[in-house]
């Protein structure tokens, strides 16, 4: 693997103050080239119930961690290895999200929805596509515990493609803020509540369905479907007990979480917010129908260089994917490599100041090469690899710098636009 070597001048800048303009060129810095980058992201496991048919949504970005407290992890890949989640992290279709006994999180889904994840919960997005088309879909599976789900545009505009599956029932929505709850035997023990699946509707309505029938649930109501341990009953009288039904009161295990205020506020504006996001998605540039890597590279690099020269932090950030992380590997005077890692939030919050500190900045690109990533073809592509030699100079925080470097980027189609998802800079 190729490491990033940073000159003494750049190292001194990094030590004085985090410089995101320079560090954004070291995004996921252990990248050696297009082949290595293609292997970087682990493939999520297919945790769907059927498992027989390949799930084309696996690995699709699902949502971003918006709020978090305690230990929250995502089980990912064929080996289901656990990855601790942090604020700003992206979750993917196929990830099993797990919270501990004192942990909670909130995800912003890519269709402008919101999901509050309670303590002691496991769930995953089995299917998800949010492209502002009739094929948009979302299927969640709750393994244990409870969610508060404020549906985005899929639940409001394409509710026929939206489902929440539990061990005892499937829940459909009609533009809804609701709280599905899977009560397992160990948590039901010693309480007046039965094992099964519950759903409390705060606004909108849901439909709870199992093999015996269905029950519509309106705002202010709670539906219930018994667990499968009673499925062996055969007489009609007992089978009737297995139909989903409405409860006469809200169970007392429904209590607000750490982030209830945030969810309450979002619920009030969810309709308008999701409608606006849907419009924006519809008006996003259409994906390219053919692949000319050099033209794509020239356009993206041109916009990137223009944004930097204009010291426009917002335009710089817009060219990078939300799930980009920032790693800088710097070489100390004695040759020891030191790695510094920054979250997307740190990167975003510091970029404006860093660009403001740049004076007399100029750069000249000496070379520009571009090829389609492995697996793409000349007819159409979703990923492009760029390599460029560049000469830069100027003043940062009042101190002059000048260096030549090799920059490498992987661009990926995200919602019809090209975004950098990986980059590496090697100082000459």
Walk along the chain (428 residues) and give the pLDDT tens digit of each residue: 333 333 322 333 333 333 444 444 444 333 334 554 444 433 444 444 444 456 888 888 899 999 999 999 999 877 788 989 998 888 989 999 999 999 999 999 999 999 999 999 999 999 999 999 999 999 999 999 999 999 999 999 999 999 999 999 999 998 899 999 999 999 999 999 999 999 999 999 999 999 889 999 999 999 999 986 544 444 444 556 678 999 999 999 999 999 999 999 999 999 999 999 999 888 766 555 578 899 999 999 998 888 777 777 777 777 888 777 666 555 566 766 666 666 555 655 566 566 667 788 777 899 999 999 887 877 778 889 999 998 878 887 778 877 778 788 888 887 678 888 877 777 65
Question: Residues 135, 154: contact at Cβ < 8 Å?
Answer: no
In the chain, CATH 2.60.120.1440 sits at 61-282
Q: What is the pLDDT of residue 359?
A: 80
DSSP letter at 160?
Answer: G
CATH of 8-40+285-427, one of 3.30.420.10, 3.20.20.140, 3.40.50.720, 3.10.450.50: 3.10.450.50
The CATH fold assigned to 61-282 is Jelly Rolls (2.60.120)
Instruction: Name all contacts of 334-341 with Cβ < 8 Å and 24+ positions apart.
Output: 337/3, 340/14, 340/23
CA atoms 279, 94, 265, 151: torsion sign: positive
Task: Report which DSSP code applies to 101.
Answer: T
Q: Where in the chain is the domain with CATH 3.10.450.50?
A: 8-40+285-427
Taking a C-beta distance cutoff of 8 angstroms, is the pair 422, 400 a contact? no
Burial label, 19 (beta-carbon count in 10 A; 0-12, 13-18, 19+): buried
Structure tokens at 217: 């649930």
How far apart CA 1 and CA 18 sit, in angstroms, is: 25
**DSSP-assigned letter for residue 343:** -
> Rg of the chain's alpha carbons, rounded to an integer?
25
pLDDT (0 to 100) of residue 240: 60
**Sheet with strand 399-414: strands edge to edge:** 358-372, 383-396, 399-414, 417-427
Burial letters 349-377, b for 16+ CB under 10 A, else e: ebbbebbebbeebeeeeeeeebbbbeebe
Nearest to 195 by CA among 186, 205, 203, 206: 186
Q: Is residue 384 within 8 Å of residue 408, measured between CB atoms?
A: no
Residue 324: the pLDDT is 72
For tokens 């019809």, what's the residue? 416
For residues 215 and 419, give the distance between their C-alpha atoms in angstroms, rounded to a whole number: 44
SS3 316: helix
Question: Per this entry, what is the length of the chain?
Answer: 428
What is the distance of C-alpha 206 from the center of its chain? 26
Query: DSSP labels for 225-238?
Result: EE-GGGTT--SHHH
Q: In the numeric block, which tokens belong to residue 406?
A: 């090799």
Q: What is the pLDDT of residue 176?
A: 94
134-161 exposure pattern, b = at least 16 Cβ within 10 A, e = fewer: eebbbbbbbbbbbbbbbbbbbbbbbbeb
Closest CA to 170 of 121, 132, 223: 223
Per-residue exposure over 169-197, b if at least 16 CB sit within 10 Å of its own CB, e if not: bbbbbebbbbbbbbbeeebeeeeebbbbb
**Is this model's pTM higher than 0.75 or not?**
no
Q: In terms of DSSP bridges, do strands 162-165 and 137-150 run parallel, antiparallel, or are they unpaired?
A: parallel
Report d(CA 67, CA 87) in Å as an integer: 6
| CA separation for the pair 414, 131 (Å, rounded) | 10
Contact in structure between 330 and 25 (CB atoms under 8 Å)? no
Kindly state the tokens that stand for 46: 């297919």
């Amino acid at each position: 693997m190729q490491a990033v070597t940073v000159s003494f001048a750049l190292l001194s800048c990094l030590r004085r103050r985090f410089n995101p303009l320079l560090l954004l060129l070291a995004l996921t810095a252990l990248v050696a080239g297009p082949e290595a980058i293609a292997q970087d992201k682990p493939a999520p496991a297919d945790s769907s119930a059927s498992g027989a048919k390949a799930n084309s949504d696996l690995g699709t970005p699902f949502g971003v961690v918006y709020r978090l407290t305690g230990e929250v992890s995502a089980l990912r890949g064929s080996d289901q290895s656990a990855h601790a989640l942090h604020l700003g992290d992206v979750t993917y279709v196929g990830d099993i999200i797990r919270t501990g006994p004192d942990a909670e999180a909130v995800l912003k889904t890519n269709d402008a929805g919101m999901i509050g994840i309670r303590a002691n919960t496991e769930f995953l997005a089995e299917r998800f596509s949010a492209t502002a088309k009739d094929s948009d879909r979302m299927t969640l599976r709750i393994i244990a515990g409870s969610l508060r789900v404020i549906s985005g545009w899929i639940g409001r505009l394409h509710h026929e493609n939206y489902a929440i599956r539990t061990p005892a029932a499937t829940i459909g929505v009609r533009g809804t803020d609701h709280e599905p709850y899977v009560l397992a035997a160990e948590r039901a023990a010693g309480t007046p509540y039965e094992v099964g699946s519950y759903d409390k509707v705060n606004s909108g309505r849901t439909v709870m369905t199992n093999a015996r029938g269905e029950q519509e649930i309106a705002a202010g109501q709670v539906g219930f479907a018994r667990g499968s341990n009673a499925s062996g009953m055969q007489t009609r009288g007992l089978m009737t007990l297995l139909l989903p039904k409405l409860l006469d009161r809200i169970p007392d295990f429904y209590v607000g979480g750490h982030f209830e205020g945030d969810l309450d506020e979002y619920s009030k504006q969810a309709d308008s917010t999701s409608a606006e996001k849907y419009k924006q998605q519809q008006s996003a540039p259409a994906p390219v129908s053919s692949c000319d890597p050099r033209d794509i590279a020239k356009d993206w690099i041109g916009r990137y260089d223009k944004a930097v020269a204009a010291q426009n932090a917002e335009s710089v950030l817009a060219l990078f994917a939300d799930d980009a992380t920032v790693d800088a590997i710097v070489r100390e005077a004695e040759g020891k490599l030191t790695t510094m890692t920054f979250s997307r939030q740190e990167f975003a919050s510091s970029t404006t100041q860093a660009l403001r500190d740049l004076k007399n900045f100029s750069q000249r690109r000496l070379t520009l090469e571009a090829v389609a990533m492995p697996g793409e073809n000349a007819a159409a592509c979703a990923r492009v690899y760029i390599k460029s030699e560049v000469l830069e100079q100027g003043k940062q925080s009042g101190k002059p710098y000048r260096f030549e470097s090799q920059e490498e980027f992987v661009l990926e189609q995200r919602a019809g636009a090209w975004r950098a998802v990986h980059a590496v800079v090697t100082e000459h």
